[in-house]
Amino acid sequence: MSHLTPAVGPADHVQGPRDAGIVLVEYGDFECPYCGEAYPELKALQQAMGDALCFVFRHFPLTNAHPHAERAAEFAEAATTIGRFWEMHDLLYENQEALDDRSLVGYAAQLGFDKALIESTLRGDFAERVRHDFTGGVRSGVNGTPCLFINGQRYDGPRDADSLIELFRRQD
């Protein structure tokens, strides 16, 4: 149970070398406060691990609990089409308190979305891509957000940078 089912592939959002010794996949929700807490920890982790770590983000919006999470994820996907996924990812986590449509459109404009892309995003053109991540997450045993997979295995332990660095150093 609880093994990452869709393997990391070309469609994934990746930071770091894909052939790194440690591949960390986060299933996250931009409106989830626990994901917000994990955000700076995972950044610190990436910094500490350098090229030894490949970090992958997949969407898992919990739409009943978080009414803006789905739309936020769709804007992140839309940002991918202009090569700015990670900038949107960071902007959303740094502004978790303001994820209403108006704010999202503001972030989009800031990152250089044109009017057509904003309209297309608001129409839901990126919903299917988000759903694809979500469904894969369900099949992989995602049990809440954030949910981390380390080299394909679900990780239920502490998510602070120090604990994860310690864990990875031990695995070396």
Interface contacts to another protein, rule CB under 8 A = 1-2, 5, 29, 32-34, 62-65, 135, 138-145, 147, 154, 156
Q: How far is the CB of 21 from another protein (least distance, A)?
A: 26
CB of 53 or CB of 69, closer to another protein: 69
**Least distance from another protein to the Cβ atom of residue 66, Å:** 8
Tokens 């380390």 belong to which residue?
150
Tell the smallest beta-carbon distance from residue 9 to another protein (Å). 19
Q: Which residues contact 128 (CB under 8 A, 6 or more apart)?
A: none
Three-class SS of residue 148? strand
Residue number with CB closer to another protein (108 or 147): 147
Residue type, 155: Y
Nearer to another protein, 123 or 139 (CB): 139
State in angstroms the smallest separation of the CB of 61 from another protein. Answer: 8
CA distances from 146 to 102, 111, 120, 140, 157 (A): 25, 25, 28, 13, 12
First to last CA, the chain: 25
Residue type, 17: P
- Residue with Cβ nearer another protein (121 or 140): 140
